[in-house]
Amino acid sequence: MNKIRTIRVVAAVICKQGRVFATQRGYGDYKDWWEFPGGKVEPGETEEEALIREIREELDADITVDRYITTVEYDYPEFHLSMACYLCRLTSDHLALLEHEAAKWVGLDELDKVKWLPADVIVAKAIKESEFCVNQAGIDVAVRQCRKQTQEHEGADVSLHNGCGHSEEKPGIDTTLRYYREHAEEFAAGTINADMEEIRVRFLVCLPAGGRILDFGCGTGRDTKAFRDLGYETDALDGSEALCQIAEKHTGAAVRCLDFRDFSHSEGEMYDGIWACASLLHLKKQELLPVMRELGKALRSGGVMYASFKYGEFEGERNGRFFTDFTPEGFREFIKDIPEFEIEECWVTGDVRPGRGDERWLNLILNRN
């Protein structure tokens, strides 16, 4: 029996005001069926590069690739399709149909009424179940976790891998979450007693007494507990379920489990300070931008945010986790695209953990404009 060939493609889930963009195929066995735009990944291309190129070729449009959603594995009669799907935004309203027969914007409540290509049915179902999150400007900023990881579709062998760090993980926070799931106890033992008092004091002098703090990426809950012990109202969240459980045990309070990329500002949740100690560094730069903008909206006027990154210019996977490193110059350039913040303080320290003093960290206190 001959092995079926695999075709590797990418698809863009382009979002606007709670709707997704669909295109109608104008050729072949599936003429007049609908699909998410995209195409094949060429040799030497990353998936993101392929997606940007395909959308330019098909729609004469430019997109921002926000985040990986899911990969669908589907057996068509003559080939196996491996389709990686990404959440995207148009950079302008210009669109032109250069290859497709038609196109339309589809609301979430209409997704199951569209005659999708077989593999795209799986994507549409995952999108509908995942509940898009829309910010106040009407721009879709995140997809909630896909709830089903595998399912059967009309007798075909279909696998759906979600963006939460299971099969076929993409480099970035997905592999990082897997690392923390597998090494939570080891990580906790090495960080829970790290002496961060000097930096916490430097942060707290910028806040009103008893102010409200968001510990964004609380890890073991070490700093959440310290802030609460000092009388500060502190909310805590982390992306790792295993670390959230450890933090709840350590602090005696509830800890919210949330993928950082899914953080969205709520009008009723305003903070005097945000503490992001060694947490944002696990996001790619393209993921970090929208997250920091949302964090800026969660700060009261005059509020401050502390953030720390490994010192350097590296961006990629290191020891099982994804890291985005910054130098002072690199971060100043990066933050130009985030008008919500300006740098108040910037300094470099060694690592406070025993035996790791040679490692350097970039520390930042940012003012909310």
pLDDT at 300: 94
Contact by Cβ (8 Å): 222, 196: yes
Q: Which amino acid is at 19?
A: R
The separation between CA 231 and the C-alpha centre of its own chain, rounded to angstroms, equals 32
Residue ranges in the chain whose pLDDT is less than 70: 1-3, 130-173, 267-268, 352-358
pLDDT at 45: 85
Contact by Cβ (8 Å): 275, 220: no
Provide, for the chain, the percentages of residues in helix, strand and coil under a 3-state DSSP scheme, each rounded to the nearest 5.
30, 35, 35
pLDDT at 305: 98
Contact by Cβ (8 Å): 295, 235: no
pLDDT at 143: 39
Give the length of the chain: 369
Q: Which two tokens stand for residue 240?
A: 């790792």
Calculate the alpha carbon distances from 201 to 206, 286, 314 in Å: 9, 31, 29
Express each pLDDT in 151-176 by its tens digit.
333 333 444 443 333 333 445 667 89
Q: Tell whether pTM > 0.95.
A: no
Contact by Cβ (8 Å): 120, 34: yes
Sorted by sequence, the CB contacts under 8 Å of residue 343 that are 6+ apart come out as 331, 332, 335, 364, 365, 366, 367
State the chain's maximal CA–CA distance in angstroms.
73
Select from 3.30.70.2860, 3.90.1150.10, 3.40.50.720, 3.40.50.150 the CATH code of 173-368.
3.40.50.150
Q: Which two tokens stand for residue 264?
A: 């969205």
pLDDT at 149: 32
Which residues make beta-bridge pairs with 142?
A: 133
d(CA 345, CA 310): 16
* Strand duo 233-238 + 212-216: pairing: parallel
Cα dihedral sign, 146-147-153-156: positive
Q: Identify the CA nearest to 9 among candidates 40, 45, 42.
A: 40
Place of tokens 């110059």: 329
Contact by Cβ (8 Å): 312, 320: no
Contact by Cβ (8 Å): 256, 243: no
Q: Which amino acid is at 48?
A: E
pLDDT at 353: 64
Q: What are the start-end ranges of the E strands in the chain?
A: 6-16, 19-24, 34-35, 38-40, 63-75, 80-90, 102-107, 132-134, 140-143, 159-162, 212-216, 233-238, 256-257, 271-276, 299-310, 315-318, 321-324, 341-350, 360-368
d(CA 364, CA 317): 23
pLDDT at 175: 83
pLDDT at 352: 67
**47 burial level (CB within 10 Å; 0-12, 13-18, 19+):** buried
pLDDT at 130: 63
Query: What are the residue ranges spanned by the domains of the chain?
Result: 6-162, 173-368
d(CA 80, CA 86): 20
For domain 6-162, is the CATH number 3.90.79.10? Answer: yes
d(CA 205, CA 183): 34
Sorted by sequence, the CB contacts under 8 Å of residue 166 that are 6+ apart come out as 149, 178
Sorted by sequence, the CB contacts under 8 Å of residue 43 that are 6+ apart come out as none
